[in-house]
Amino acid sequence: MLRKLKATQGCEMRLPAGAVYDRARFLAVGLCAVIDRAYRKPFVFLVALLCLSAAQARESASVTAALDELNRGNVFEAIQKLKLALRENPPPQAYFYLSGIYTEMGRYDTAYRYLSSAVEANPAQAAYYHQLGLIRRYEGCRLEAMAAFTHALKLGMKTEEATLWRHVGDIYLDLLETEKAIEAFRNNLRLRPNDAETHLALGRIYLDRNDTATALAELRAAFDVAPALAGLHAAMGRAYRATGDSESAIAILTKGIERDPSDQETRYLLGQTLLAAGREREGRSALRDYQQLQERITQTNSLLETGVERAQAGDLAGAEKALREAVKLAPRYAPVLQTLGTVLLNRGSAQPALEMFKQSLAVNPLNSETYLNMGAAHLRLGNLNDALQVTQKAIVIDDEDARHYTQLGQIYSRMSRSDESRAALDKAAALKSTPGYTPLDPYSSEARRRNDAATVRGICGGPPSP
Q: In CATH, what is the architecture of 324-449?
A: Alpha Horseshoe (1.25)
Select from 372, 363, 358 the least CA-distant residue to 400: 372
107 vs 415: CA distance, rounded Å: 33
pLDDT tier at 393 (50, 70, 90 boundaries)? very high
Q: Is residue 414 packed enough to be buried (19+ CB in 10 Å), middle (13-18) or exposed (0-12)?
A: middle
R_g of the chain computed on alpha carbons: 24
Separation CA 432–CA 438 (nearest Å)? 8
CA–CA separation, 126 and 131 (whole Å): 9
Residues 6+ apart with CB under 8 A from 39: 20, 26, 29, 363, 364
DSSP codes of every residue in 137-195: HHTT-HHHHHHHHHHHHHH--GGGHHHHHHHHHHHHHHTT-HHHHHHHHHHHHHH-TT-
Of 10-14, 206-210, 356-360, the least confident: 10-14
What distance in Å separates the CA atoms of residue 13 and residue 109, rounded to the nearest whole number?
A: 14
- Render pLDDT for 131-179 as a digit per residue (tens, 0 to 9): 999 999 988 899 999 999 999 999 998 888 999 999 999 999 999 999 9
pLDDT at position 221 over 60: yes
**Coil, helix or strand at residue 221:** helix
Higher pLDDT, 392 or 22: 392
pTM: 0.78
Residue 446 binned pLDDT confidence (cut-offs 50, 70, 90): low
**Residue 4 DSSP SS3:** strand
Over residues 30-74, the pLDDT tens digits come to: 444 332 333 333 444 454 455 444 444 445 777 888 888 888 888
Q: What is the 3-state secondary structure (H, E, C) of 373-423?
A: HHHHHHHHHCCHHHHHHHHHHHHHHCCCCHHHHHHHHHHHHHCCCHHHHHH
Write down the number of H helices and E strands in the chain: 26, 2
Short-list 75, 113, 71, 77, CA closest to 95: 113
Supply the angle between the helices 75-88 and 61-71 in degrees, to the nearest 10.
170
Report how far residue 26's alpha carbon sits from residue 19's, in angstroms, rounded to the nearest whole number.
Answer: 10
Report yes or no: 80 and 396 within 8 Å, Cβ to Cβ: yes
